[in-house]
Amino acid sequence: MDSCNLKGFAIATYIMLTVSVMYLFPHPIVLVAFGVVPFALWGVVRFSFYVVIGFVVFSFFRIHEVFPMIEPLKFPMMLALGSLLVISIRLTITRNLHPYWSKQFTYLMLFFILVTLAIPFSANVGVATTAWTGVYSKIIIMTFVIAWMMREESHFIISCRIFLVAGACVGIVALINKANGVGLVEGTRVTIGRDIGSLLGDPNDLALVLLYPMAYAIASFLENQLTRFERVFAFVVFVLLLFALLATQSRGGLLGFLAVVGLFAYNRVRSKIMLFGGGTVVLLILFAVAGISDRSSGGAAEEGIDESAMGRIYAWEAAWNMALDNPFLGVGINNFIHNYFSYSTHWDGMNHAVHSTWFGVLAESGFLGLFLFVGLIVTTFTAAWKILKNTDLAKLSPGMRVTVNAAPAGIVGFVVSGTFLTQGFIWPIYLQVALVIALQRYFHKE
């Protein structure tokens, strides 16, 4: 069925449906409602990019949990339904989504297939199924959709601005919670929405969310041809994100921040000895300012290798044992904690998170899964770096230069922070993969 026939069929079906409903419920309000539907659908399709990016922002930055008063409005659910509707319409009726493929998609799909095949063999099938259906499958679908829908320069520029605003919102609420002593972990580490079970209720996960827009804030501030307002706003967002990140007292978050800043400095500082020496000094200062030594776990009060570090070592050892016992499929997505007791050599009465993206992927998807995941990261960073180095930046608009500069920095921040933060099956890296694939396509078409 061609496009014209399909549209005609859709219109005829809509008219028949309207008449049928009016016959069963002869009330003027029904006619008004059906009259509004076409305009609503037009708006959703016309502004489909905003619907999809809105879903991503609410899913990743957890805006409805940052501001609990909007929770009853169910924005994530409405945006999810809107995104599915947009995808369906643009694939079947308007046919202007234009899917394409890339090397990163190959690694992504192979990894996704492996994770999916492992579900029936997981140690806890129910937990794996819930994680797959509730979050991971949606992330994979939206990775494709975002990459396919980001086609115009305005899409990249708008995304950058939205990420900055969302990051600023999270940072402000985090600092307010810190000042008021709300939801603090270990008495000093800030969180958001801990009382409602938010993802941001873990200081390490909060640090990860704060880290993502950092690259955009730095790139925007360093872009001389942006307006004064945009640069000042980017600097303000950077300061908010930095102080909120310090308030989490997350060592992985601080290392990730240093990696993001370091990549920008690497491209601008000629003396690499000065760069690495200065980076070491900055890291020590950040750890002091963040008050890492005052933490209940991993603080200065603990002698030798602190409790937090030893906890990670024990968790990584357990992850290695899981991979050795399940080398091909792992123990299943989101199954590490549920298997900790069986594979840990040090039991302190409670299960622990793995606190490492790499060991987490290794444990939950096996050696093959880790190989595919690393392949996805490497090809994504390589593509972002080639765009940065092979593109004549002077010919690009200031907004596009910000995106091009931020892309590889964001991935480096993920790689470094991923050593201490568990982020293999959540939004950040997949959002960055989609962005780089879209950038690659954009410049290839140019």
Q: 28: pLDDT confidence band, cut at 50, 70 and 90?
A: low
- Per the CB < 8 A criterion, the answer to whether 308 and 294 are in contact is no
Q: Among 283-292, 348-357, 382-391, which stretch is predicted with the lowest mean pLDDT?
A: 283-292
Question: How far lies 53's CA from each of 48, 56, 433, in Å?
Answer: 9, 5, 15
From 383, 367, 423, 366, select the one nearest 104 (Cα to Cα).
Answer: 383
pLDDT of residue 302: 39
Q: Among 47-61, 152-166, 426-440, which stretch is predicted with the lowest mean pLDDT?
A: 47-61
For residue 30, the surrounding DSSP H or E stretch is: helix 28-46
3-state secondary structure of 395: helix
Q: What is the C-alpha separation between 268 and 264, in angstroms, rounded?
A: 7
pLDDT of residue 358: 95
Q: What is the C-alpha separation between 221 and 231, in angstroms, rounded?
A: 5
Mean pLDDT of the chain: 84
Q: Which residue has the higher pLDDT, 273 or 89?
A: 89
Residue 440 has pLDDT above 70, yes or no: yes
pLDDT tens per residue, range 424-439 = 998 889 999 999 999 9
pLDDT of residue 238: 96
Residue 85: how many other CB atoms lie within 10 Å = 15
Q: Which residue has the higher pLDDT, 210 or 85?
A: 210
Number of domains in the chain: 1
Residue 17 has pLDDT above 90, yes or no: no
pLDDT tens per residue, range 80-130 = 888 888 888 778 777 777 899 999 999 999 999 999 999 999 989 999 999
DSSP labels, 196-262: GT-GGGSHHHHHHHHHTTHHHHHHHHH-TTS-HHHHHHHHHHHHHHHHHHHHHT-HHHHHHHHHHHH
Question: How far lies 349's CA from each of 279, 340, 341, 352, 415, in Å?
Answer: 39, 11, 9, 10, 31
Tell me the mean pLDDT in the region 38-46: 57
Q: 24: pLDDT confidence band, cut at 50, 70 and 90?
A: low
Q: What is the C-alpha separation between 363 and 335, in angstroms, rounded?
A: 9
Residue 292 domain-assigned?
yes
Residue 12 domain-assigned?
no
pLDDT of residue 222: 94
Residue 76 has pLDDT above 80, yes or no: yes
pLDDT tens per residue, range 293-310 = 555 554 433 343 445 677
Residue 47 domain-assigned?
no
Q: 291: pLDDT confidence band, cut at 50, 70 and 90?
A: low
pLDDT of residue 248: 93
Reported pTM: 0.85
Q: 165: pLDDT confidence band, cut at 50, 70 and 90?
A: very high
Query: Dmax over Cα atoms in the chain, in whole Å?
Result: 80
Residue 119: how many other CB atoms lie within 10 Å = 19
Residues counted in the chain = 446
Q: 161: pLDDT confidence band, cut at 50, 70 and 90?
A: very high
Q: 319: pLDDT confidence band, cut at 50, 70 and 90?
A: very high
Helix axes 103-118, 357-390, angle to 10 degrees: 170
Q: What is the C-alpha separation between 322 and 326, in angstroms, rounded?
A: 6
pLDDT of residue 49: 86
| Phi, psi torsion values for 330, nearest 5 degrees | 75, -170
Residue 390 domain-assigned?
yes
Q: 9: pLDDT confidence band, cut at 50, 70 and 90?
A: low
Residue 6 has pLDDT above 60, yes or no: no
Residue 318 domain-assigned?
yes
Q: What is the C-alpha separation between 232 and 226, in angstroms, rounded?
A: 10
Look up the domain containing 144 and give its range: 102-445
Q: What is the C-alpha separation between 75 and 77, in angstroms, rounded?
A: 6
Q: 4: pLDDT confidence band, cut at 50, 70 and 90?
A: low
Residue 94 domain-assigned?
no
Residue 64 domain-assigned?
no
pLDDT of residue 73: 84
Q: Which residue has the higher pLDDT, 308 or 13?
A: 308
Residue 73 domain-assigned?
no
Q: Which residue has the higher pLDDT, 243 or 49?
A: 243
pLDDT of residue 304: 37
Evaluated on CA atoms 153, 56, 212, 72, the torsion sign reads positive
Residue 374 has pLDDT above 60, yes or no: yes
Residue 191 has pLDDT above 70, yes or no: yes
Residue 19 has pLDDT above 60, yes or no: no
For residue 301, give the amino acid letter.
Answer: A
